[in-house]
Structure formats: structure tokens, C-alpha cells
């Protein structure tokens, strides 16, 4: 394996897109009221696997957690970004550094580093046997291109628990993620909590499969006195051996800004 340098320690998010971006929910809390460390570890493992999968152009399995440091707790409502970079490639192994940042306090937004880790993965074939890592591909994924005028607000990988009886990802899971994705820019504009008041349109264009990397891109299209309307487009990257990106969903949602008593509030007021 080519030697990996000591893990870097950036204190601000890199300019590159995150491997994952999520918003933890109350079910992810521990008994102290912070996000459970196991949830963070699981997401770091998934985030690190994504560039490893792209580099291997095959499935990978986690072989080692080389280092893992929790720097600050994560709270419900934080927008958590997982940035991952391949730092070493061996005959069959790939080492990845993952840096995790949380955006919090919508009324006065701040981004803090919460976790950093180094993970090693091994490339495997469809039978689960170790395989050689081939030469790196310089070709971008085929298929459609996500919109440049919309922000990448969430990027997630659905798991087996998210499947419907037909084996595709449950439409309700996609709808819930779209609702969260649309809320992210709405919260930034409102500088407060928001509540969903309308799903103005929602179109499923293609099914989503387990293992797809699902990206949610959102843009505010209208701001009223108390309401914010957001367009969300959803893309799935699939087939790691020959990656392709397809548009799977598009939607328009309307949110209302609310105060600490959950009463409607005027946008722009303190």
C-alpha cells in the first residue's frame, strides 16, 4: 500500500461536495439528549465507503477503524456534512479520511467540526471475496447532471429498512427526505424553525434502489410574509462499476416560519 500521511485536521469544511449530508432526528438521540455516537460512527462508515467504492469500482467492506475522534456533540436539527477523501490505495485496500462538520443555530448560523476519522476498506467481488483494486477511472459518472443552480442540501444512502415489499426504496422514505431537504434552505431564509404547510407537487420519475447514493438539491423560489416555497430535485447515482446518475424525483413544497411557541411569525422579524 502507498503510505498514507498522518490524518489532516481541517477546521473548516473543504470546498468539495460532501460524501453524505444529513439531518439527525430525535430517534438518533442518546439518553443525554445529544446525537448517539453510534449514529455518527455508522454515518462515517458509510461516508468513507462511498469514495472507496468509486475508487474500487466494486463493493467494499470495512476492514479497520484506524482512528476516530469526537470533537463536539451533535444536536437534533444540525445539518451534518461528511467529507471523505481517499488517502492511500493498496493492492486490495483503500484508506479514507472522513471529516464531519455540523451547521447549527439557524438564527445565527455557525459551522463547527464535530468528528474526524480514518477508515480502511477492502474491495470485494459479488461473491464477497477480496479482489484487486484496478486503475483509477478518470471518467465522470454517465447519465444526467444535477442542477448547478440548486444547493446540494442532503446526500444519503438508503438501507434495507427503507425498502418496500417490492424491493425498491419506499416512496414514503423519499417523501420524508424531500421534506427535510426543502426545509434546509427554508430554515436559512426564515432564520428560525419552519413547518411544512403544503406539498404543491410531487413526481416520482424512477425507483430508488438500496445502495444508490441519493442527492437532494433544493432552491428557494418564493418568499412571502411568513411562507417560503422550495423546489427540490432528487438524483440517484448507481452501479459503482459503471456509475450513472438518474433523476428520480422532483417536488415543490411550502413552509411557514414559526417561533419558539410554534406560532406563525413574519420572515425578517427578530
The secondary structure of 105-143 as a DSSP string is -TTS-EEEEEEEEEEEEEEE-TTS-B----PPP-PPPEE
Instruction: Decide if 179 is catalytic.
Output: yes
Q: Say which residue the cell 452501479 belongs to.
A: 239
190 burial type by CB count under 10 A (0-12 exposed, 13-18 middle, 19+ buried): buried
Q: Which of 34, 85, 168, 179 is catalytic?
A: 179
Q: Say which residue the cell 440517484 belongs to.
A: 236
The Cα 139–Cα 137 span in angstroms is 6
Q: Which of 30, 125, 200, 259 is catalytic?
A: 30
CA distances to 77, 142, 150, 227 from 145, in Å = 29, 8, 12, 30
Active site residues: 30, 179
Amino acid at each position: 500500500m502507498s503510505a498514507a500521511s498522518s490524518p489532516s485536521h481541517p477546521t473548516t469544511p473543504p470546498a468539495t461536495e460532501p460524501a453524505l449530508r444529513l439531518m439527525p432526528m430525535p430517534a438518533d438521540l442518546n439518553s443525554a439528549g445529544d446525537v448517539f455516537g453510534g449514529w455518527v460512527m455508522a454515518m462515517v462508515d458509510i461516508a468513507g465507503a462511498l469514495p472507496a467504492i468509486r475508487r474500487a469500482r466494486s463493493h467494499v467492506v470495512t476492514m479497520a477503524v484506524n482512528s476516530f475522534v469526537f470533537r463536539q456533540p451533535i444536536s437534533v436539527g444540525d445539518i451534518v456534512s461528511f467529507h471523505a477523501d481517499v488517502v492511500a490505495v493498496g493492492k486490495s485496500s483503500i484508506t479514507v479520511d472522513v471529516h464531519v462538520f455540523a451547521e447549527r443555530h439557524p438564527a445565527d448560523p455557525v459551522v463547527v467540526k464535530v468528528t474526524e476519522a480514518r477508515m480502511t476498506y477492502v474491495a470485494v467481488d459479488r461473491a464477497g471475496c477480496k479482489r484487486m483494486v484496478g486503475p483509477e477511472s478518470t471518467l465522470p459518472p454517465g447519465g444526467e447532471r444535477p442542477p448547478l443552480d440548486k444547493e446540494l442540501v442532503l446526500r444519503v444512502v438508503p438501507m434495507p429498512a427503507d425498502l418496500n415489499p417490492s424491493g425498491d426504496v419506499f416512496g414514503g422514505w423519499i417523501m420524508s427526505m424531500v421534506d427535510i431537504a426543502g426545509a434546509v434552505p427554508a430554515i436559512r431564509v426564515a432564520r428560525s424553525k419552519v413547518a411544512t404547510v403544503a406539498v404543491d407537487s410531487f413526481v416520482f420519475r424512477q425507483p430508488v434502489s438500496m445502495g444508490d447514493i441519493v442527492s437532494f438539491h433544493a432552491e428557494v423560489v418564493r418568499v412571502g410574509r411568513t411562507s417560503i416555497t422550495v423546489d427540490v430535485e432528487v438524483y440517484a447515482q448507481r452501479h459503482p462499476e459503471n456509475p450513472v446518475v438518474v433523476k428520480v424525483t422532483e417536488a415543490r413544497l411550502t413552509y411557514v416560519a414559526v417561533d419558539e411557541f410554534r406560532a406563525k411569525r413574519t420572515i425578517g422579524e427578530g
